[in-house]
Amino acid sequence: MWFVKCYVNRSGRNDVQKHYNSANEELKANLENALEYLICLERSEWIRPRAHRMTKCDEFRDFFEIRFKANNVQQRPIGYFGPGANDFTILIWATEKGNKLIPEEWCSIANRRRLEIIEGKAKAEKLKFSHE
């Protein structure tokens, strides 16, 4: 089982948690359903249609996107397996439109945030769901 965490910068800002907290019930429920399914799977089973290993990032080729639709938008929270052995940490909330991820610079942002966690300049905290 995986523990879902999210990136928190040095000053305590947590964009992923903020995005989740401000979302409507459809987005919250769809994310929770996707994660409930994925956290029970082996890493090798994180495949389409619910997840996808990101291979188009030259800086780090082991990012994964969680794939679901909410509010007529393809939601694509992106993260990596770490920093702990049983952690999956969401680094950035992206969306997809016309086969392109928004923000386009998702790769460099995600990689910078991953390195900040590894170097101790940022941390990963548990994603808190509204029903907890």
Q: Does position 132 have pLDDT exceeding 90, yes or no?
A: no
> How many residues are recorded in the chain?
132
113 inside domain: yes
* Cβ contact 56:107 at 8 Å: yes
pLDDT, tens only, 38-68: 999 999 999 999 999 998 899 999 999 999 9
- pTM (predicted TM-score): 0.96
pLDDT of residue 130: 84
Q: Where are the alpha helices (DSSP H) in the chain?
A: 15-22, 25-38, 106-118
Sign of the Cα pseudo-torsion (60, 10, 29, 132, in order): positive
Q: Give the model's pLDDT for residue 69.
A: 98
Q: Is residue 25 a part of any domain in this protein?
A: yes
pLDDT at residue number 19: 96
Number of domains in the chain: 1
28 is a domain residue? yes
Q: Let me know if residue 132 belongs to a domain.
A: no
Helix 15-22 and helix 25-38, axial crossing angle in degrees, nearest 10 = 130
Looking at the DSSP bridge assignments, the partners of residue 53 are 64
Q: What is the mean pLDDT of the chain?
A: 96
Evaluate whether residue 131 is within a structural domain: no
Span 79-97, average pLDDT: 97
Range of the domain at 16: 3-126
Whether 73 contacts 100, CB under 8 Å: no
pLDDT score at 31: 98
Cβ(45)–Cβ(33) under 8 Å? Answer: no
Phi, then psi, of 27 in degrees rounded to 5: -65, -45
Rg (CA), the chain: 14
The pLDDT of residue 42: 97
Kindly report the number of other CB atoms within 10 A of residue 118's CB atom. Answer: 11
Mean pLDDT in residue range 93-112: 97
**Token duo for residue 41:** 């799977």
